[in-house]
């Protein structure tokens, strides 16, 4: 499915096209795609809410499939192996951020389905160093949402500083939050979910949230940490109002509407707000290991690849319980 010109998802911007089969170069593998998860970032790209890097482009960065070609010198995978590809497609390995161990901030990072073609396709090229074996415990479709919703959610959870027996707030409850809830509970956190969509409330309750309410509501206890998944700036202030002194609000999204002006008292008391940008390979490895240990159960709604536009519209209107996944 190819994006030639960004438009609102409702006007079906993705078109089914035949494109030449990609060939893996040095250090790369080709993955025959079985499934690809649908992420909010895909929606932002398709609708032109992020600066465009490449057009036309094939979106999709939660790819699970089988390796069917191995480029010269590519290590760690052979034909027939199951492999996953994520948002971080490659880094330069040489900039100041890579040098600091912050490859998620690499100045020359390339992203799957944005700078290079992604997984809304039959085949995708992934550098072997940026591909991941999928734990056997997970089916293809249940693994797909782990690769971005899970990985970014995990990094957001880490950066929120939440630890055992903390009260954690999740603002918005889509693909990422439903995975984070399970990991946070496994860590011993009590989880408070703020969402309006009935399907999301139901799933949060089923997965063991301690409380479910609206973003504007004050939860019964102050929160030690919070993660904002919804791309709506005013919610950052809602989260700060619910947060204890010294707590952190981490922002999981790649974009967000403006954060309204706020009174200093909302952040005084050493409350912190921090964004989360991309992920490192270490985040991805840790998340996959942890997800298998929990074990995380992902809720997925499957769509045929050619229905990618419909999947994006359903996600846009919070009609998917858990994660949307395209089957090639």
Residue 145: phi, psi to the nearest 5?
Answer: -65, -20
- Taking the complex as a whole, the smallest distance from the CB of residue 185 to Zn ion amounts, in Å, to 23
Q: Which CB, 41 or 248, lies closer to Zn ion?
A: 41
Q: How far is the CB of 93 from Zn ion (least distance, A)?
A: 6
Q: Which window, 38-46, 177-185, 271-279, 295-303, contacts Zn ion (CB under 5 A)?
A: 38-46
Strands 300-304 and 323-327: parallel
- What is the nearest approach in angstroms of Zn ion to the Cβ of residue 279? 9
β-strand partners of 323: 300
> To 5 degrees, how large is the angle CA 207–CA 213–CA 218?
130
Tokens of 252: 């999981």
Stretch that binds Zn ion, among 14-22, 140-148, 186-194, 238-246 (CB under 5 A): 140-148
Please identify, using beta-carbon distances, which residue of 1 and 106 lies nearer to Zn ion.
106
How does strand 14-15 pair with strand 110-111? unpaired
Determine, following the binding rule CB under 5 A, whether residue 148 of this chain makes contact with Zn ion. Answer: yes
Residues in binding contact with Zn ion, number by CB under 5 A: 8
Query: In this complex, which beta carbon is closest to Zn ion, that of residue 152 or of residue 203?
Result: 152
State the Cα–Cα distance between residues 153 and 150, nearest whole angstrom: 5
* 119: phi then psi, degrees, rounded to nearest 5: -95, 5
Rounded Cα gap, residues 235 and 92, in angstroms: 35
| Nearer of residues 92 and 202 to Zn ion, judged by Cβ | 92
**Site for Zn ion contains 98 (CB under 5 A):** yes
SS (H, E, C) 115-176: CECCCCCCEEEEEHHHEEECCCCCCHHHHHHHHCHHHHHHHHHHHHCCCCCCEEEEECCCHH
Dihedral sign from CA coordinates of 247, 252, 138, 196: positive
Q: According to the binding rule CB under 5 A, does residue 160 interact with Zn ion?
A: no
Using CA atoms, how far residue 42 sits from 51, 162, 196, 245, in Å, is 13, 28, 23, 35
CB of residue 99 to Zn ion, shortest distance in Å = 8
Our CB check for Zn ion shows the closer of 95 and 199 to be 95
In terms of CB distance, is 134 or 189 closer to Zn ion?
Answer: 134
Applying CB under 5 A, does 39 fall inside the site for Zn ion? yes
Least separation in angstroms between residue 189's CB and Zn ion is 23
Nearest distance in Å: CB 220, Zn ion: 32
Nearer to Zn ion, 14 or 189 (CB): 14
Q: How far is the CB of 42 from Zn ion (least distance, A)?
A: 7
Contact set for Zn ion, span 77-96 (CB under 5 A):
91-92, 95
Q: Which is nearer to Zn ion, 70 or 151 (CB)?
A: 151
Please answer whether residues 166 and 158 qualify as being in contact, where contact means their C-beta atoms are separated by less than 8 angstroms: no
Candidate ranges 35-43, 51-59, 212-220, 280-288; the one touching Zn ion (CB under 5 A):
35-43
Q: Which of 9, 70, 106, 121 binds Zn ion (CB under 5 A)?
A: 106
Burial class (CB in 10 A: 0-12, 13-18, 19+), 250: buried
Rule CB under 5 A: say whether 41 interacts with Zn ion: yes
> Smallest distance, Å, CB 106 to Zn ion?
3
The residues that touch Zn ion, with contacts defined as CB under 5 A, are 39, 41, 91-92, 95, 98, 106, 148
């Amino acid at each position: 499915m190819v994006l030639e010109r960004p438009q609102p998802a409702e006007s079906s911007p993705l078109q089914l096209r035949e494109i030449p089969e990609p060939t893996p170069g040095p250090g790369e593998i080709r993955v025959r795609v079985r499934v690809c998860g649908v992420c909010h970032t895909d929606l932002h790209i398709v609708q032109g809410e992020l600066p465009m890097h490449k057009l036309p482009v094939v979106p999709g960065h939660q790819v699970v499939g089988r390796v069917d070609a191995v480029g010269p010198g590519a290590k760690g995978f052979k034909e027939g192996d199951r492999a996953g590809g994520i948002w971080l497609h490659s880094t330069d390995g040489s900039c100041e951020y890579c040098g600091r161990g912050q490859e998620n901030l690499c100045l020359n990072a390339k992203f799957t389905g944005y700078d290079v073609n992604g997984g809304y396709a039959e085949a995708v090229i992934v550098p072997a160093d940026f591909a991941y074996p999928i734990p056997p415990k997970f089916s293809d479709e249940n693994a797909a949402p782990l690769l971005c919703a899970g990985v970014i959610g995990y990094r957001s959870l880490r950066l929120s500083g939440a630890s055992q027996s903390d009260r954690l707030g999740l603002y918005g409850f889509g693909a990422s939050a439903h995975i984070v809830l399970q990991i946070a509970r496994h860590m011993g956190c009590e989880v408070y979910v703020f969402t309006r969509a009935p399907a999301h409330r139901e799933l949060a309750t089923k997965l063991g949230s301690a409380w479910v309410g609206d973003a504007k509501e004050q939860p019964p206890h102050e929160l030690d940490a919070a993660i904002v998944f919804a791309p709506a700036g005013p919610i950052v202030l809602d989260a700060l109002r619910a947060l204890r002194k010294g707590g952190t609000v981490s922002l999981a999204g790649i974009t967000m509407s403006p954060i309204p002006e706020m009174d200093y008292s909302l952040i005084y008391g050493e409350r912190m707000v921090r964004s989360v940008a991309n992920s490192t390979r270490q985040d991805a490895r840790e998340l996959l290991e942890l997800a298998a240990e929990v074990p995380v159960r992902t809720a997925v709604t499957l769509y045929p690849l050619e229905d990618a536009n419909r999947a994006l519209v359903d996600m846009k209107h919070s009609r998917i319980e858990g994660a949307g996944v395209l089957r090639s």
